[in-house]
Structure 1
Amino acid sequence: MPCQLWPYTTPGITDDLFEGLPGIPMTKREVRLLILSQLRLKKDAVFWDIGAGTGTISVEVGLLCPEGRIVAVERDEEVAALIRRNCDRFEVGNIQVIEGNAPECLEALADSPDCVCIEGGRSVREILTAVWPRLRSPGRVVAIASNLEGLYAISESFSALQARNIEVVQSAVNRLEKRGIHQTFAAADPLFVLSAEKLS
């Protein structure tokens, strides 16, 4: 549902509307749109955002799924507080922020998710292994990798879990920026977006 800060029904909130912290990466709008399309959300989805960072994905899902239940998992206390502030900025009330290390903190979550987003992390194999039995069927997982090692780890984990309909997309986003008197295109860091389904 629209809010005062973003009074639109379309996703793709501009990055500058979110509060950030130095050194904490923000999922850029264009990549966010790709992730949201891969999640295939329903209005009442139960969604886990693991490694939520600034909370951009959680906020977008909260607005898109007004009847949904969103859990944003973040291990850093200061960053978790940032997610809460961003939820307040966008008047989103259906997001629960969990401070803790994944996958250990996932055991305490009550609801089984319909879809999960894993936004990086060193423990991606362990997180996927812990998430998969909890994921409803049919259910979807979208995982983000910023390097080849992460890409291989997620791909191998999907294979070991017998995931179905695996897709891999590499984002390539260029934005027009003004540098001095010239305008030039600046490339955003490319990311691998992997998605898979649990069908049984």
Structure 2
Amino acid sequence: MASSIWPYKSPGIPDHLFERLPGIPLTKREVRILLLSYLRLEPDSVLWDVGAGTGTIPVESGLLCPDARIFAVERDEEVVDLIRHNCTRFGVKNVQVIQGVAPDCLSKLPKSPHRVCLEGGKDVHKNLEQVWQYIQPQGRVVAVANNLDSLYRLSETLAKLQARNIEVVQSSVNRLETRGPTQVFAAVDPIFILSGEKF
């Protein structure tokens, strides 16, 4: 699937190309590349992105795997409209946006996932417990923790669920930015990325 805005066959769409709303989180490009690599999408994967925010992961996944089925879950109507807008902007047609509160809405999703991306939130570990019931055997979960408490709870939950091949990585990215007459390296907020597989 080609996009006139991002005609390349590689992930890493620059952040400024996405439409945004004030206060709605956007997964930064460098973090997005890591998330996509840990998801290990296959051409026909079913992906759930729970807490999809601006819709960066659904857009990138849709462009990389046009035969995949992608479900983006968000609770706020305005944010749901933003995700749809970004999908249209990039010409992505294989994303279905679901308005609902996780984990309550997960049972209504039409297809069991091969891959799940859990993008933050204070109760991300509870969402992990719920999606584990639905994910197919040999499926993968990738979750984001932006503080030590979430990291601990996610690690504990993956262990309790007996996930296999658990990996944890902390991103540490600095970007060159112009500030007044000088250029400085500014840190992108560090986050933890956890992944595991169901057998």
- Same-fold call, TM > 0.5? yes
- Runs of 4+ deviating beyond 6 Å: none
Partner of residue 64, structure 2? 64
Q: Please state if 1:109 is matched with 2:136.
A: no
Tell me the distance in 2 between the aligned counterparts of 1:123 and 1:187.
Answer: 26
Spell out, residue by residue over 1:97-142, the C-alpha distance to the aligned partner (whole angstroms, 9 max, x if none): 0001000000111211000000012222221111112111111000
CA contact (8 A) 2:48 2:115 kept: yes
CA contact (8 A) 2:171 2:191 kept: yes
Q: What is the total number of aligned residue pairs between the two structures?
A: 199
Partner of residue 161, structure 1? 161
Tell me the distance in 2 between the aligned counterparts of 1:91 and 1:179.
Answer: 34
- TM-score (structure 1 length as normaliser): 0.98
Spell out, residue by residue over 1:57-114, the C-alpha distance to the aligned partner (whole angstroms, 9 max, x if none): 0100011111010000001111111000000000101000000100000011121100
Partner of residue 122, structure 1? 122
Spell out, residue by residue over 1:4-53, the C-alpha distance to the aligned partner (whole angstroms, 9 max, x if none): 11011111111110001111111000000000000000111100000000
Q: Please state if 1:21 is matched with 2:36.
A: no
Structure 2 unaligned regions, length at least 5: none
- TM-score (structure 2 length as normaliser): 0.98
Identical-pair percentage: 63
Matches within 5 A, 1:21-170: 21-170=21-170
Partner of residue 194, structure 2? 194
Q: CA deviation at 1:169?
A: 0.5
Structure 1 unaligned regions, length at least 5: none
Task: Give the 3-state SS of the residue equivalent to 1:59 in structure 2.
Answer: helix
